[in-house]
Amino acid sequence: MILKNNPPQGFLDEETRDGYTVSAHMKKVWAVQLDMLQELQRVCEKYGLRFWMEGGSLIGAVRHHGYIPWDDDIDVVMPRADFDKLQEVGPQEFTHPHFFQNFYTDPHYNHRHIQIRNVESAEYNSADLARYCRGIFLDIFPLDYLPNNPRAIRKHEQKLRKMKQRIKFTQKVFRHLPEGWYKYCRNNTKCLSDKWLYAQFEDELRRYKEDRAVVCCPIGYKNYSVVRAVSDYKETVLTKFEWLEVPIPAAYDSMLTAEYGDYMTPVHSATRHGAHTYETDRSYREVFKKVL
């Protein structure tokens, strides 16, 4: 396991939290992700960028001061302007063993958000053996703004979904082409380039500005969206997350209650990454020689 920031002594030991046993292996997966989170904090402090814990990671920060014991990933969100700045500086700031992954830095990458990867590790699903970097990851989503009226919101969402489907179709076609053809189309054409199509997709997401009434997290990136008030992110507080201190919205209680109901009562459930295999001591390059 190759890290830039080592965990505290004893962190990697198996332990029981809320009646759930967290294995030593999962603790190593957490350590890899927390190492990337610590690097994200460094970069954001250097450039004055904002981010907040999101989803299950936000619940974990509030309820457990760390991971939900049965969770296996970290999600954060950033305002669009900060997200774009991170896309500009990230490729230079995140160095080995970390890799700054998005549509522009990694051909065949098929997600529409940023992921920080540890290239000396591996995560994979037997149903999805794509050709992009498959190290253990940290997810970073943008907060994008919406128009002011429901009809305009519906039209905006419909346009984004169509653009998203076009990107996915293009990548599906390219998956079966020789690598040289794919790279030529990607770098020298427009309508046949998944990279160019994604740039148009992002331009549509940037269309509405911060003075609008609501913010959407993260529209066009998943199969659902969560609409929140801009004021939810007006103030930030710090809270413990394992051995780190992380930023969360001061309005976390109203946000989580609206989305999850009684979020303070733990409910043991499988994570959406439950079918994934995690390797902390072998690079995805080595692992994929055996699984491909």
pLDDT in tens, 89-109: 999 999 999 999 999 999 888
Round to whole Å and give the CA distance between 262 and 257.
Answer: 6
Q: In whole angstroms, how large is the CA radius of gyration of the chain?
A: 19
Per-residue model confidence (pLDDT) at position 292: 47
For the stretch 170-175, contacts whose Cβ atoms lie closer than 8 Å and that sit 24 or more positions apart, written own/partner, are 170/194, 170/197, 171/108, 171/110, 174/108, 175/108
Contact 21, 14 (CB under 8 A): yes
pLDDT in tens, 112-163: 899 999 999 999 876 566 678 999 999 999 999 988 888 988 898 899 989 9
Per-residue model confidence (pLDDT) at position 11: 97
Q: Environment class of residue 209 by beta-carbon count within 10 Å: exposed (0-12), middle (13-18) or buried (19+)?
A: exposed
Going residue by residue through the chain (292 aa), what tens digit of pLDDT does each one get? 999 999 999 999 999 999 999 999 999 999 999 999 999 999 999 999 999 999 999 999 999 999 999 999 999 999 999 999 999 999 999 999 999 999 999 988 888 899 999 999 999 876 566 678 999 999 999 999 988 888 988 898 899 989 999 998 888 888 778 888 888 988 888 888 999 999 999 999 999 887 667 787 766 666 667 888 899 999 999 999 999 999 999 999 999 999 999 999 988 776 655 568 899 999 998 888 755 4
Which of 108, 117, 80 lies closest to 218, judged by CA?
80
Supply the pTM of this predicted model.
0.93
Contact 98, 117 (CB under 8 A): yes
Contact 44, 12 (CB under 8 A): no
Round to whole Å and give the CA distance between 271 and 67.
Answer: 12
In three-state secondary structure terms, 255 is helix
